[in-house]
Amino acid sequence: MRVGIIGATGYGGAELLRLLNQHPHVQEVVLYTSSKEGMNIQESYPHVSNIYNQTLKSIDVTSIKDEVDTVFLATPPGVSAEWSGQIAEAGCRVIDLSGDLRLQNPEVYEKWYKREAAPLALINDAVYGLPEWNRESIQKAQIISNPGCYPTATLLGLAPLVKNKLIDVDSIIIDAKSGTSGAGRSPSAITHFSEMNENFKIYQINQHKHIPEIEQNLHQWDEQVQSITFQPHLVPMVRGIMATIYAKANQQISETELRDLYKEAYRNEYFVRIRPEGAYPATKEVYGSNYCDIGLTYDERTGRITVVSVIDNVVKGASGQAIQNFNLIHGFEEDTGLTLVPMYP
């Protein structure tokens, strides 16, 4: 299998390089760029010295068609909207890690992203790549829209509750915390080390682009769910997301029943691990891996459920999940190349 990456110099791209190197069915990786043609990847990433030696090529659909079978787009907004359709038409599978194709309603996209939506036909062709809850569609897809990092942690944490209608639909609050790698590789004031270390920040209050993505999926699972409260925060660490999810139970439920529900829901899921009673995951426990670890509790005093869901935002929240989808569309075992043990400490 030959794969291409558009956007290899960003963090999503770098992580694809790391993970694809372990993939037994990937023989060749070709790197494409819209702006850095001719640069050797080692100039951008010395850590791949002696491992990858590719020079970045310009994006050309005809060449891409000849050179690779699948293309990963780890690109800024707008690139996928422009290229994914053409690449797919040329016969390649496309796995888009950007947000361009995630929202089915272009108006919603334009409201939250404040830019023009991708062509509707392209959006309609794209399948939302959350394997645990969308596996069958993914297997048949030509174009995958890989979920956002926050939606991945949140949706895996909420799915059993929402699908089983166990909570008040307007009580959902997600207090999310992320490492800085989610903000990408471009230096900025907010992620300047001197401003971010020994600091904890809230950002994009009520405005994060992942809000409509979460709502869209919850609504598909239970059409009564309309809107949620989601507030993201930046943690002085590089990798990791914790979504602390609050919801009011709409009936008495014991913590054991709750845990059993989750265990059953994810019984066959290699990448979802439910913590035992009294235990809750920390982000480091999934560091560098494709796992989503979940802890649960029900507080009888308040009638409120708290779900703690953690992922590595660069892996299960981006490149790892992309490869999970890659495996699905090509009929490989779903965990191929993704069995890395979390790095601890």
Q: List the catalytic residue out of 3, 118, 138, 149.
A: 149
Closest-CA residue to 208 (of 159, 260, 151, 170): 151
Tokens of 303: 């009638």
Structure tokens at 6: 């558009």
Q: How far apart are CA 49 and CA 123, in angstroms?
A: 38
Q: Which of residues 74-113 bind a copy of itself (CB under 8 A)?
A: none
Q: Which is nearer to a copy of itself, 133 or 280 (CB)?
A: 280
Categorise residue 114: left if φ over 0, alpha if ψ from -120 to 50, beta otherwise.
Answer: left
Q: Name the minimum Å distance from CB 79 to a copy of itself.
A: 21
* 30 vs 305, beta carbon nearer a copy of itself: 305
Q: Active-site residue 149, yes or no?
A: yes
**Sign of torsion over alpha carbons 10, 18, 126, 245:** negative
Tell the smallest beta-carbon distance from residue 8 to a copy of itself (Å).
12
Considering CB under 8 A, how many residues would be counted as binding a copy of itself?
86
Taking residues 216 to 255 in sequence order and writing x for each that binds a copy of itself by CB under 8 A, - otherwise, the string is: -----------xxx-x-x-xxxxxx-x-x-x---------
Q: Bridge partners of 274?
A: 294
335 touching a copy of itself, by CB under 8 A: no
For the segment 266-325, give every residue that binds a copy of itself (CB under 8 A).
270, 273, 275, 279-289, 291, 293, 295, 297, 299, 301-302, 304, 306, 308, 310
- 173-178, strands of its sheet edge to edge: 201-202, 229-234, 173-178, 241-248, 304-311, 292-299, 272-274
The H or E element that residue 237 is part of is none
The smaller minimum CB distance to a copy of itself, of residues 164 and 199, is found at 199
Please give the residues from 173 up to 192 whose contact with a copy of itself meets the rule CB under 8 A.
Answer: 173, 175, 177, 179-181, 183, 185, 187-189, 191-192
From 39-47, 66-74, 85-93, 96-104, span contacting a copy of itself (CB under 8 A): 39-47
CA atoms within 13 A on the CB side of 250: 11
State the nearest-atom distance from the C-beta of 11 to a copy of itself, in Å. Answer: 6
The CA radius of gyration of the chain, in Å to the nearest whole number, is 20
Nearer to a copy of itself, 199 or 256 (CB): 199
Name which position in 34, 39, 45, 163 contacts a copy of itself (CB under 8 A): 45
Q: Which of residues 189-208 bind a copy of itself (CB under 8 A)?
A: 189, 191-203, 205-206
Interface with a copy of itself in residues 7-36 (CB under 8 A): 11, 14, 17-18, 21-22
By CB under 8 A, the residues from 108 to 167 that bind a copy of itself are none
- Strands across the sheet containing 28-33: 57-58, 28-33, 2-6, 70-73, 93-96, 143-145, 126-128
d(CA 158, CA 309): 9
